Amino acid sequence: MDSHKLPVSLKKTMYEKMVLIRTFEEKLVELSQQEKRVPGMQILANGQEAAAVGIIEALRPDDVIVTNHRSHGHLLAKGAEPRYLMAEIMGKATGVNRGKSGTLHMAVPEVNALMTTTVVGAGAPLAVGAAFAQQYRNESNVTVVFFGDGAAAEGSVHEAMNLAALWKLPIIFVCENNCWAGAQGLHEHCSIGNIARRAVAYGMPGESVDGNDVEKLYTLASKMVARCRDAEGPALIEAKTYRMRGHGEQDHQHYVDKKELQRWSQLCPVKRLKDKMLSDSLVTQAELQAIDSEMEAKINDAVKFADESPYPLPDEALENLWVAVKGGR
């Protein structure tokens, strides 16, 4: 399907989800500037919402995602409740992982966001395991793993891609190339400018796509997912985008060229979809404003819920390590 022929309802849904993510993360920017509101470093994906939404919208609820330290967008796009994510980020007992994870490694098994890892590149072998289980049980479900351009330098990603291609596993490797690995730009950490080309080495399709164009991402993901469901094996998608904020909120990007940042801000994926829908007369300004307000209300509700939630009791730290075994060992 050509991206310009996508149904209007889908475009609206994708707009709504991108706004949800953007609003959620802008709230986190605000909270992280306040004393003791959110523990640890907030690692945000402002400007990268299209990859999360475009790819995940091409999935079914039963499909699995594996994400990383920059996970909020992926989790929200997969359907995680903002309330429980916000509470987790604040370290509250009502958090999606009871405060054990905090902002960094939230897993939401309820929406099949089964594993989240902050060990860069480690998601790829984990996802191979999930995809293997899908193949083993002859399911038509697929697994998507999100990682960055920095992770593409990890040996674990190579091992995972080789094994996935060898066994024709139903897995989509999604590299969100945001041009930065910490403070190192792409040309400083990557031997090849185009990460999708690495797919050739594993005998799987690999395509680069404008990572700030949610419609193109959806269209490409749909194509790759369909191959996977037909047991044609894995694929690599490189979403070319940009990390609009620092690695984390304490990183003020002293090493980033402000003109470059300015250039990419013109390519904001939320604004692009909005402008396009308006110029194609698919929606009215009022409709979009209604969506924006609704998402803002949702995030304000999440913050309120999280603020009002209690912290876990200190000795709850001892819980949740083991699955209990009869006899207690």
Partner 1 sequence: MMALLSFGQTVRDALDLAMSMDDRVFVAGEGVGVSIHYDPNMPTHGLLEKYGPKRVKDTPVSEAAIAGLAVGASTMGLRPVVEIMFFPFITLATDMLVNHAAKLRYLSGGKSSFPLTVRVKAGVNFSAGCQHSHNLEAWLAHSPGLKVVFPSTPADAKGLLLNAIFDPNPVIVIEELMLYWMNGEVPEGDYRIPFGEARIITPGQDCTVVSYGGAIYTAMEAAKDLSEEGVSLEVVDLRSLVPLDKTAILESVRKTGRLVVLHDATKFAGFGAEIAAIVAEEAFDALKAPVRRVAAPDIPVPLSPPLEKFYRPSPEMVVEAVRSIVRMG
Q: CA 212 to CA 217: how far, in whole Å? A: 8
Q: Can you state the percent helix, strand and coil of the chain, rounding each to 5?
A: 50, 10, 40
Is residue 90 classed as helix, strand or coil in its secondary structure? coil
> Using CB under 8 A, which of 19, 85, 115, 224 touches partner 1?
115
Is residue 299 within the footprint of partner 1 (CB under 8 A)? no
DSSP count for the chain of H helices, then E strands = 12, 8
Nearest to 21 by CA among 78, 79, 76: 76
Query: Measured from the CB of residue 120, what is the shortest distance to partner 1 in angstroms?
Result: 10
* Contact map string, positions 11 to 50, toward partner 1, x by CB under 8 A: ----------------------------------------
Give the neighbor-by-neighbor strand order of the sheet with 206-210: 113-116, 64-67, 143-148, 171-177, 235-240, 206-210
For partner 1 (CB under 8 A), the number of binding residues is: 47
> Using CB under 8 A, which of 155, 187, 254, 281 touches partner 1?
155
For partner 1, give the closer residue by CB, 168 or 223. 168
* Contact map string, positions 118 to 137, toward partner 1, x by CB under 8 A: -x--x-xxxxxxxxxxx-x-
For partner 1, give the closer residue by CB, 29 or 166. 166
Q: CA 247 to CA 250: how far, in whole Å? A: 8
Is residue 215 classed as helix, strand or coil in its secondary structure? helix
> Using CB under 8 A, which of 16, 26, 159, 251 touches partner 1?
159
Is residue 329 within the footprint of partner 1 (CB under 8 A)? yes
Is residue 256 classed as helix, strand or coil in its secondary structure? coil
Enumerate binding residues for partner 1 (CB under 8 A): 64, 66, 95-101, 105, 107, 109, 114-117, 119, 122, 124-134, 136, 143, 155-156, 159-160, 162-163, 166-167, 319-323, 325, 327, 329
